[in-house]
Amino acid sequence: MTGDARSRAEVDPVSGESGAVPAAGSPDALVGAASDTIELLRAMIREACVNEGHPGSGQEIRNVRVLQRFFADAPVEMQVLEPAPGRSSLIARVRGTDPAAPVLGLLGHLDVVPVDPDGWTRNPFGGELSDGEVWGRGAVDMLYLTAAFATVLRDVALAPEKPRGDLVLLAVADEEAGGDYGLRWLLNTHPDAVAVSEVLSESGGMRMGEHVAIGAAEKGSAGRLLVVQGTPGHASIPYGARSAAYRIGDVLQQLGAVVPAAQLGELWDAFVTARIPDEDLADRLRDPVRLDAALPQLGGIAGYAYAVSRVTISPTVLRAGSTHNVIPGSGSIELDIRTLPGTTDDDVDDLLRAVLGPLSELVEIQHLRGWDATASGTDTPLFAAIERAVESVAGSPVVPIMAAGGSDARLFRELGVPAYGFGLLGPSWSYERYREGVHGHDERIDVESVALSLEALRLIVADRIG
């Protein structure tokens, strides 16, 4: 149901209970109004569109079919586009009446990351609703928002009056593996189908003290492969050989011993002001020289603060040797390197050489896939609409933040389209809780957070294109 009221005899599909009609605007009314979104979220979780990074995985066509059924009785224009069998994205559009009005894109992905079932206490693809929470892989990242986007699009399509501007749901494949079978492919091959003037997507809604975090930027990626050479030999006679495995160890030791210096960007002060009430600690965090010594006092937010205050270097994949009785003559280390705005490829290579010191002469640096850091300004009409909506629903100011990871939103920012990480999670959803849920065991979202996000989203849509 899409209205705020229920008949007194109706059983609430969210709580499973019957009772009196809640007052409009009350928490119970908000949750009741989100019941369609909750059921759509559960259905999408059950499709298990697991993206393992190879072309045949994902099979997002299953969630495309779920959305098509959801829109079946609404006047929504739909296109299903796929670069490979089953790797489908759905573009759903409600056209507005004013060609000069904004075209608002709601960017959600349909794929989810793999799970280790042994780490879960419930079926990760059961979509169970228990004690006010929906359980399952993708509940937080980001099927709850994709479901909310779809709900609002259907509401707009069924409204008696058409909107001024277009509203477009971009329900895409392959976000979890970089978008080659999703948004990146769509932008390259079907740019008209996905053309929008502003975008809402994931990576927002967490609580930063009294503030609600809205994603306005993302770090870049500059992956590197370090190739090291040794002297091979028979493993039974190691004298005179120099194993590349030892050299990999030397490189790893050096990478672990040197910490890249802090570089505090435009959003850093806003983060510190919102999250750190202790003025002395906040002052130390604003000082690049004293920042690292203050990090241990931040508790669970320390990892985020470290990540967004510098370029980070993380060894992830090691390779050396192919059989147990041969000393390897070569080896490699894959590095996940996340960059700040303005960091170039040359800057990354120079940083690696500085970190490795004398070892850099023994290491060949090869470039892997990457992209620049991206940001959208906070002086746009869409960001102002987000601020008004969050204040109206939650009574909270917003704080723009930089995401340590990446999302498809960067692909729009690269084109100059403002894109923001949206959401409005419940008061208990600190950044730490959000990060634990994303890609973690027992991923789940509470129905209050879904309802709050849905209510704020409706206000934003009405503000921008209503």
* Contact present, 305 and 298 (Cβ < 8 Å): yes
pLDDT at 7: 32
Q: What is the pLDDT of residues 173-207, one digit of tens each?
A: 999 999 999 999 999 999 999 999 999 999 999 99
Architecture of domain 34-217+376-465: 3-Layer(aba) Sandwich (3.40)
pLDDT of residue 204: 97
Alpha carbons within 13 A on the beta-carbon side of 428: 6
DSSP string of 40-70? HHHHHHHT--B--SSTTS--THHHHHHHHHH
Query: Which phi and psi angles does 22 have, rounded to 5°?
Result: -75, 155
Dihedrals φ, ψ of 304, to 5°? -65, -45
pLDDT given at position 57: 97
Higher pLDDT: 351 or 18? It is 351
Q: What pLDDT is recorded for position 32?
A: 73
158 to each of 38, 121, 163, 398, how far by Cα in Å? 19, 39, 11, 31
Q: Domain residue spans in the chain?
A: 34-217+376-465, 218-371
pLDDT digits (tens, 9 = 90+) for 24-56: 455 566 567 799 999 999 999 999 999 999 999
Q: Which helix (H) or strand (E) element contains residue 108?
A: strand 104-109
pLDDT of 29: 60
pLDDT at 340: 96
Q: Identify which has the larger pLDDT, 155 or 24.
A: 155
Q: Please give the pLDDT value at position 31.
A: 65
Task: Pick the range with the lowest mean pLDDT from 22-36, 55-69, 252-266, 312-326.
Answer: 22-36
Where does the pLDDT of residue 463 fall: very low under 50, low under 70, confident under 90, or very high at 90 and above? very high
> What would the mean pLDDT of 140-163 be, rounded to a whole number?
98
Report d(CA 290, CA 169) in Å as an integer: 45
CA angle 402, 290, 283 (to 5 degrees): 70
Per-residue pLDDT, 270: 96
- Is the per-residue pLDDT at 21 higher than 90? no
pLDDT in tens, 441-460: 999 999 999 999 999 999 99
pLDDT of 156: 98
pLDDT at residue 252 in the model:
97
Class (C level, CATH) for 218-371: alpha beta
